[in-house]
Structure 1
Amino acid sequence: MIQKQQSMVFSPFMGIYDLVIPKDHLLRKINELVDFSFVYEELKDKYCHDNGRTAIDPICMFKYLLLKSIYDLSDEDLVERSGYDMAFKYFLDMAPEEEVIDSSSLSKFRKQRLEDINLLDLLINKTVEIAIEKGVIKSKTIIVDSTHTKSRYNPQSPKEILEARAKKLRKAVYSVDESLKSKFPNKNTTDQLEDELAYCQQLIEVIESEETICTYPKVKEPLNLLKETVSDDLEHLATIQSSNDEDAKLGYKSADTSFFGYKTHLALSEERIITAAVLTTGEKNDGKQLQTLIEKSKTAGMEVKTVIGDTAYSEKANIDYTKENNIELISKLHPNITHGYRKRENEFEFNKDAGMYVCKAGHLAIKKRKTYTKKEELGKNTVYTYYFDIEKCKQCPFREGCYKEGSKTKSYSVSILSGEHLEQVKFQESDYFKEKSKERYKIEAKNSELKNRHGYKNAKSSGLFGMEIQSATTIFTVNLKRIIKLMNP
């Protein structure tokens, strides 16, 4: 049963917050800036209103997730700190003497209450609404780009991750008391994930039975991390047995550099507020997300008159779309993607970082060749032919209708029309275009902030659902921090 949390908590000790929490503390400013009642309204249908035990207030649970994002803590370490950190308790609207939740409640909240909620758009729209209300967003320009997040299991398998974290935990214990080595279970010697999970569970039980050892911070942190990993993998064992991370895909940062994971496609205002985001698997093309980013930014309340992006966004469909909607597109033309004629567009996408096409299975072309043809009705054409690894094609699950059995090569050709998009070519030579292009550094800096300050380099759980929660809470956090900074220069 759900019950609205009272806006005022009655306790004789509430005055301690005014004494120990500075007026300019980030959590105090966030509490003052945001009316979190929108969380209750969004999640109320996920709870029973007239039966059962009273549930933990959803606003409080949501704030726990924000704290996890802001301070990059495991569930157990987060709850433990919430028990003694007065700033945390103040942010959670708890009395100083009030008991904190059990850490297992956070996992249940994520999986049972946030399912089927479009959390990413909800939280971004809320911050944009606040920014517009406070007069922070004044521009009509968005800057677009993507940033990649490596899978939790990149480049290791779930079993290898468990092995590494178990090893780190053992080392921490040995540094305190090496004699415990004799009590530890025998290491797993099989290749089975189930056996490694069983070993890790036994290791955890032995260490937790030694209460003194568990009080050492150098032991407690790797212990909690291993426990959280084991808990997550037990629930997703059926999924991850067949793949390191079933939702994650191989993407390319260059022709020689790849990653296994996800992409977050972002739109950023000139004031550096994220106005829209699209979460995809790693192999997706950046340019294909532009129209969605623009429409989402508009839905959030942003007026869009100009879009700034790199060459990935200058494909023909985007030029036509922005022209139809009276939007300036500050994106240089790239001859490999502003093509005139291309067959099977849904099966082959251009990766601007690698400068190659990627097939439906996610395989990158290994080389390309440039040739010229001349057709009477078209004039002189430039044709780029991209060649794929034939050995991969032979084993590919999508080879039917794509690869002809017995063929010695597999190629894909793109015809580039000379003289296409002359209007855009003229525009990109203007001083205005060149000056606006300089604004792109802002989104690169924002990507760096997401990764280096808020742990966005690596996924904290398996699957797109877990990645969406991480994306939503992280972007919500960085947007609020930016709004606070702009309001208090």
Structure 2
Amino acid sequence: MNDDRLKDEFILSTLNDLVPEDHLVRKIAKWVDFSFIYDLTKPFYSDKGRPAIDPVVLFKIPIIKSLFGISSIRRTCEEINVNVAYRWFINLPFSEKIPDHSTYSKNYTQRFYQTDIYHQIFTNVLNQIIQHNLIDFTNINIDSTHIKASANKKKFIEEIVTKEKSVFEDEMLDFINDHRQDDDDKSLPPSAKVETYSVFKVRS
């Protein structure tokens, strides 16, 4: 039935009702406590001025990017805007606007650029995921080399975090340099490239 009236249908439902019970974001939300982010990021925020983006929201965005293999922060923000499960995960109702790429990038670069905050947060999250047995270690590849189930989990975490941090910081650096060029400022040098390829499976 091709009827445009269906697109204007009013649905009485909650955001929680629309996310399947077996969706990965529910498993992550159940077992991973993100409240530690507030303590880690507190020194970077001021009580003055306009309220900033919630730091948990800010850092859940790259976590979604990493978990679901989305190509960029820009694309991730676009996906969150239309994906009910992602919106539920970062705890933003339909009545609130998702940070766009430029807003997100400015918040990150003005507070956390050239700090190890991303590394700390991603390591903490991965540790919690592993602690609750949410990763299947029977099939792990690091640097394109298959590693057996008895793999050193500490090495695995460091490899994954190093890879994700490198990709993430390269993208933020590109954003900074785009704006520096607009202001006729010299571009910042690129960060060292880390050629690390990792694959792991989240338990179903």
TM-score by length of 1: 0.29
- 2: CA distance between counterparts of 1:41 and 1:101? 22
Structure (1/2) with the larger strand percentage: 1
Task: Give the superposition deviation at 1:26.
Answer: 1.1
Question: Residue 34 of structure 2 is aligned with which of 33, 36, 56?
Answer: 36
- 2: CA distance between counterparts of 1:37 and 1:230? 30
The residue type paired with residue 97 of structure 1 is S
The residue type paired with residue 109 of structure 2 is K
Structure (1/2) with the larger helix percentage: 2
Highest CA radius of gyration, 1 or 2?
1
Structure 2 unaligned segments of length 5 or more: list them.
1-11, 136-148
Which residue of structure 2 aligns with residue 234 of structure 1? 178
- 1: CA distance between counterparts of 2:90 and 2:175? 25
Is 1:66 the counterpart of 2:10? The answer is no
- Deviations along 1:205-261, whole A, 9 cap, x unmatched? xxxxxxxxxxxxxxxxxxxx9xx9974432465246xxxx5443xxxxxxxxxxxx3
Mark the CA change 1:135 to 1:17 in structure 2 (over 3 Å): closer, same or farther.
closer
Q: Is the 8 A contact 1:14 1:96 kept in 2?
A: no
- 2: CA distance between counterparts of 1:123 and 1:15? 30
Which residue of structure 2 aligns with residue 95 of structure 1? 93
The residue type paired with residue 107 of structure 2 is F
Is 1:142 the counterpart of 2:152? The answer is yes
Structure 1 unaligned segments of length 5 or more: list them.
1-12, 153-224, 249-260, 265-446, 450-477
- 1: CA distance between counterparts of 2:45 and 2:57? 15
The residue type paired with residue 35 of structure 2 is S
Classify the secondary structure of the residue corresponding to 2:152: strand
- Deviations along 1:330-378, whole A, 9 cap, x unmatched? xxxxxxxxxxxxxxxxxxxxxxxxxxxxxxxxxxxxxxxxxxxxxxxxx
Q: Is the 8 A contact 1:64 1:92 kept in 2?
A: yes
Which residue of structure 1 aligns with residue 194 of structure 2? 262
The residue type paired with residue 127 of structure 2 is V
The residue type paired with residue 82 of structure 1 is I
- Deviations along 1:81-110, whole A, 9 cap, x unmatched? 322211111011011332222321211232
State the superposition RMSD in angstroms. Answer: 3.9
Task: Give the superposition deviation at 1:54.
Answer: 1.2
Sequence identity of aligned pairs in percent? 27
Please show how residues 408-487 of structure 1 align to structure 2 within 5 Å. 447-449=197-199, 482=202, 485=203
Classify the secondary structure of the residue corresponding to 2:46: coil
Please show how residues 240-319 of structure 1 align to structure 2 within 5 Å. 246-248=190-192, 261-263=193-195
Classify the secondary structure of the residue corresponding to 2:107: helix
Is 1:83 the counterpart of 2:81? The answer is yes
Which residue of structure 2 aligns with residue 160 of structure 1? none
Classify the secondary structure of the residue corresponding to 1:119: helix
- Deviations along 1:179-230, whole A, 9 cap, x unmatched? xxxxxxxxxxxxxxxxxxxxxxxxxxxxxxxxxxxxxxxxxxxxxx9xx997
TM-score by length of 2: 0.62
Number of aligned residues: 166
Mark the CA change 1:262 to 1:58 in structure 2 (over 3 Å): closer, same or farther.
same
Mark the CA change 1:101 to 1:126 in structure 2 (over 3 Å): closer, same or farther.
closer
Classify the secondary structure of the residue corresponding to 1:22: coil
Which residue of structure 1 aligns with residue 118 of structure 2? 119
Mark the CA change 1:82 to 1:34 in structure 2 (over 3 Å): closer, same or farther.
same
Classify the secondary structure of the residue corresponding to 1:262: coil
